[in-house]
Amino acid sequence: MSRPLLEPVGAGQTRFRMQGLSTDARGIAVGREVLITFPTIDWLVAFLGAYSDEASLDDLLPTMTLEHARRREGGHALLLRCAAGDGYAVDRLGRLAGSTRGQLYTGSGSVFLRWRQRDAPFGYDLVSPLAPEGEEVLVVDLDYAASYATVDRMDPVELIQRLQLRRVPLPLAGVSADPEGCGLKDLALALVAPGIASRVLRHLWRLETVFAGYYVQIEGDAQASLLLRIRQPRGRVLDVLYGTPGIELLAPVSSRAAVQVGFRHPIQLSSASGCLPGEEMFLFRGDVGRVERLPGPPRFIDGRHLVEATGAAMPRELGQLREAELEPLQVELQVRPALSPREPRGTLIAWEQVGLLRHLVYLMPPSALAASRVIPLDEGVVVITGSSIGARSRAAAAGLGAAAIVPLGRRLGEVAPGVLVPDGYELWPRVRPALTRQLLGLGPDDHALFLHPRVDPIRVTAEQLLPLDAALIGRLQLSETTVVEPELPALRAGEIENRKLGRFALWGFGRAPKAADERGSGQ
């Protein structure tokens, strides 16, 4: 059995055989640096992506180095080295590294030990001092030690910028179906090929889109491409831009980076501003597999300066209106049979049927009663429920009054607010509802009733509309209460009345023989 190379650190232990170890606030042995070994670069990228989702890569990047190393015993590995914080930060690194096939070690310089496990909650220390050979890095585990020799070094920032974008599925109904999910809800960027720039600008201008843009010179292109910024783009605009060849729609992921729609960067760029140095803007293009570094910060120009006006026609001012000549156009407003059914908003009940209405009232819901008005006429009683009646309740607003419920009389439909015609008829020609009221000369609260197709309409003013419930119910007589006075007055204090004494002799208070008198006077 091999001899263990590491031993667990005890609680409260402060002296270690390995140099560079120290305890944090919880008593865990932490080195100055941590080393994570990954088998392939894919797992390294997965680790960076997972870390950027959870925390900010800017904490790691200043001290991070990436090395491609060869193991002396055979095989390769990718080594990530960075400064170790306290135990909590290293624990997080360990958790993420474990999920991405990485091994976490802590130490300093060229010797690194396994990070703490369940068996050794305070970490490990060397059983005996070990030293690597030459420039190698020695990684010590419980029962083996491995030496890594660096083959190549990578710049983490450059690696992140060169990563290939990954495709993500888009909504089947198009980008406009879920602009928020595509990251385009507030702002969208579009890189337009030089050949179609002017036509795209004209199209956006016609759609009254709020946009700004400027021309950028992309490396390798002969002419400058147009970069557009569209604030709160409409779905129609997004669909047009996404589906047009030559236009790449980009979603901003941070203030200086945008990724093409339909792709995702493996790293969460919003938490890795250190990866994007300088003031340049980065456009990650997935289709062509390139990263465009635009020189300097973007300087967008408002869209109205980008389009050119080519119209030459000037409108002519209209002179005198020829009102008199309109007379041949004027026609009669008449009632004619109609085929389309209408929702009943009123009913004319003959006086003979009023008794039936009286019985039906008990079945009506209170909202329908409250939303109905009644007009007593010679022809009968008109019960109406119109949108023109003060729609205080939901039932009134929906026209669900008594008139729509009562199965009596002749139904009336509403052709304009407050204008009712018999069911099966309509006003011809079909003019605007507001104009109908104007033509009939109705006031704001007036109603016009066409009770019969061949009879002239009648005007009903607001004062003539009686609430149905009030008209139906007879006045209730309340019996007056009689207040009963309490029979007994409250107790009062007595009032002293000194009676006239006159002159009299006070006698009878002599030495009384009563024993009680004597006792009393002795007190």
Partner 1 sequence: MARSLSEFLEHFVLPLLGGGPLSVGAPLRMRERELLLEQAGELLRPELQFLRMRRAQLLVADPSLPAPDPDELSLWIGLHNTLVFDHPERHRVWSRSTVWRRVEGATRSLLTLPSPTSRGETLARHVSVGALVELTRADMVVSTPAGELRAIGQELPRRALRLLGPSDAVRHETVRWAEQPHAPETQRLLEDALRASPLTCVLRPLLAPPGWSPLSAADAFSDRALVRAICHTWARHRDWVAVGGAVAGALLPSLPDPSRPERAGPPQGEGPLALPGAVLPTDPQVLAGVVGALVHLHFLKVVELDARLGVAAVSRDPGVTAFLALPLLLPRLQDTMGAPLGGLEELDQHRTGHERLHAPLARRWIEYLDHLQELMPQGAVDKLLASLVPRIVQTP
Nearer to partner 1, 62 or 513 (CB): 513
- Using DSSP, state whether 412 is helix, strand or coil: strand
Encoded tokens for 519: 């006792």
198 phi and psi, to 5 degrees? -70, -35
Q: Closest distance between partner 1 and the C-beta of residue 484, in Å?
A: 19
Encoded tokens for 297: 């910060």
Encoded tokens for 73: 């015993």
Q: Closest distance between partner 1 and the C-beta of residue 483, in Å?
A: 23
**In this structure, what is the dihedral angle of CA atoms 448, 452, 453, 458, given to the nearest 10 degrees?**
-30
Contacts of 247 (CB under 8 A, 6+ apart): 190, 191, 192, 193, 196, 200, 241
Q: Closest distance between partner 1 and the C-beta of residue 461, in Å?
A: 53
Q: Closest distance between partner 1 and the C-beta of residue 510, in Å?
A: 7
Residue identified by tokens 């919003």 is: 270
Q: Closest distance between partner 1 and the C-beta of residue 85, in Å?
A: 45
380 phi and psi, to 5 degrees? 155, -160
Nearer to partner 1, 318 or 496 (CB): 496
For the beta sheet containing 257-260, the strands, ordered from the edge strand earlier in sequence to the opposite edge, are 290-294, 281-285, 257-260, 247-254, 187-192, 225-231, 211-216, 301-302
Nearer to partner 1, 311 or 510 (CB): 510
Residue identified by tokens 């006086």 is: 351
Say how far apart CA 475 and CA 469 lie, in whole Å: 11
Q: Closest distance between partner 1 and the C-beta of residue 485, in Å?
A: 17
Contacts of 366 (CB under 8 A, 6+ apart): none
- Does the CA dihedral 165-166-172-176 come out positive or negative? negative
Nearer to partner 1, 219 or 495 (CB): 495
Q: Closest distance between partner 1 and the C-beta of residue 502, in Å?
A: 7
Binding site for partner 1 (CB under 8 A): 488, 491-512, 514, 516-523
Residue identified by tokens 């104007």 is: 438
Nearer to partner 1, 321 or 496 (CB): 496
Among residues 196, 214, 260, 208, the alpha carbon closest in space to that of 236 is found at 208
Q: Closest distance between partner 1 and the C-beta of residue 45, in Å?
A: 54
Nearer to partner 1, 167 or 514 (CB): 514
Q: Closest distance between partner 1 and the C-beta of residue 516, in Å?
A: 5
**Within 10 A of 130 (CB to CB), how many other CB atoms are there?**
14
Nearer to partner 1, 484 or 490 (CB): 490
Cβ distance 248 to 191 under 8 Å?
yes
Nearer to partner 1, 15 or 519 (CB): 519
Residue identified by tokens 């023989």 is: 513
Nearer to partner 1, 478 or 488 (CB): 488
